[in-house]
Amino acid sequence: DARVTQTPRDKVTEMGQEVTMRCQPILGHNTVFWYRQTMMQGLELLAYFRNRAPLDDSGMPKDRFSAEMPDATLATLKIQPSEPRDSAVYFCASGSQGLAGGPSYNEQFFGPGTRLTVL
């Protein structure tokens, strides 16, 4: 049963601390997305990668957020320093865009999310 996994599931930290969230995309998928969900803003894209290359990070505050894919099985989202307004649920999703396929072409599959609370 192929799934996107995310760690940690919950993180409580104090303002100013560094936070690192990790995502393991579905094996064989070549795109990875990071979304943030809040009550006020709903779901917003932060960054996405195709074949490990960053394609769009326009939704991410550049001064404190960074996203990387060290290899095809790991994506990371880092916040340094964290602030209370960063409190949200962060979702990772993966897909197989750009690859020949059937009805699932370009479909995105989401992980369970990391619930971040910054005090």
- Using CB under 8 A, list all residues that contact another protein: 31, 33, 35, 42-45, 48, 50, 55-56, 91, 93, 95, 97, 103-113
Phi/psi zone of residue 46: left (φ > 0), alpha (ψ -120 to 50 degrees), beta? alpha
Q: What is the closest distance, in whole angstroms, from the C-beta atom of residue 81 to another protein in the complex?
A: 26
Query: Which of 58/62 has CB closer to another protein?
Result: 58
Query: Which of 10/18 has CB closer to another protein?
Result: 10
Q: What is the closest distance, in whole angstroms, from the C-beta atom of residue 67 to another protein in the complex?
A: 13
Q: What is the closest distance, in whole angstroms, from the C-beta atom of residue 1 to another protein in the complex?
A: 13
The pairing of strands 114-118 and 10-13 is parallel
CA angle 118, 115, 67 (to 5 degrees): 85
Query: Which of 73/105 has CB closer to another protein?
Result: 105
Query: Which of 47/118 has CB closer to another protein?
Result: 47
The pairing of strands 109-110 and 88-95 is antiparallel
Q: What is the closest distance, in whole angstroms, from the C-beta atom of residue 74 to another protein in the complex?
A: 18
Cα(39)–Cα(97) distance, integer angstroms: 29
Cα(117)–Cα(89) distance, integer angstroms: 9
